[in-house]
Each structure stands twice: as C-alpha cells, then as structure tokens.
Amino acid sequence: MEFRKNWINKNKLFNIRIHNISIIIIILVTSYPTFWNSISFVFIRYFNRIINGDKVPLILAGHFNINFADKISERLRTFLSEKLNLKMNNDPQESTTKYGTTIDAVFSRYLENIKSQTYVSYFSYHKPIVSMIKIPE
C-alpha cells in the first residue's frame, strides 16, 4: 500500500526513557490536504497497542499541513482529543510559518510539565517549535 510506505519513510516513532519514565514520540510530516483521515487510519492501524488503553506518555509532533488557526482543523483536534487523549501544546493562533498559518503542532498526553513555543528561523519557511519537559526527580 503506497500510503503505508510513504508514511513509514517520512515519519518516525521513538520510545525513549527518561528517569524511568517511558515516552513515545511520533514525528509526522504530511502533504495530505485531508490529513485527519490519514492520521486516524495510521493511528488506529499501526499504533493501536501503544495508544489505546495504555497510560504511556505520548508526544505527537510535526508538520500536519492543516491550519490549526482555522475551523477546518476542529475535526482533527477533536479526533486527537477524544480518541487519543492528546492535547495541543502550542497555541493554534500563534503562526508557525512566515505566512501566518499554524500548520505545525505538538500534541501530548500524560505529560503535565510540557511547554512548547515557536522560535524565529531565518533559514526556513517554518518557525521551529521547541518543547521542554520538566521531569520530576
């Protein structure tokens, strides 16, 4: 299936451990205009064991190619919130591109001390989002 091959080549899945806390990190890059259909397919099919019914902290970050400042993103945000318990960490009204759109985002679950913010980049169309996690000692 072409979608699966492209998804695996462009996107990454990491399982890291920090101070005995396991965190799943998924990095996405997509060019699909109807991405919420694609993301629901990928999550349900490939990450069902990891994300459903499991209390493992999860970070989902990347280039979603959907403007989170626009109402059109509500379907995707609702899916991520209701099905995967993911909340958006960066402000959807704060642009992540030089043209005023918010097409990059960081979502997380079961991580209370995470903060994400954008930075100015002089070398890219996108403004990088940097996330910091405070891990209790």
Contact 94, 111 (CB under 8 A): no
Token pair 């005023």: residue: 100
Q: Say which residue, 14 or 133, is predicted with more confidence.
A: 133
Looking at per-residue pLDDT, the higher value among 65 and 114 belongs to: 114
Q: Is residue 80 helix, strand or coil?
A: helix
> What is the Cα–Cα distance from 33 to 35, expressed in whole angstroms?
6
- Note whether 118 and 127 are within 8 A (CB): yes
Q: How far is Cα 34 from Cα 128, in angstroms, rounded to an integer?
A: 23
Domains belonging to the chain, first-starting first, are 2-133 (3.60.10.10)
pLDDT at res. 47? 63
Share of the chain above pLDDT 90, in %: 18
> Which one has a higher pLDDT value, 12 or 123?
123
pLDDT per residue as tens digits for the range 62-99: 888 889 999 988 888 888 888 788 899 999 999 999 88
Tell me the backbone φ, ψ of residue 114, rounded to 5 degrees.
-115, 135
Does the structure show a pLDDT above 70 at 51?
no
Average pLDDT over residues 16-36: 71
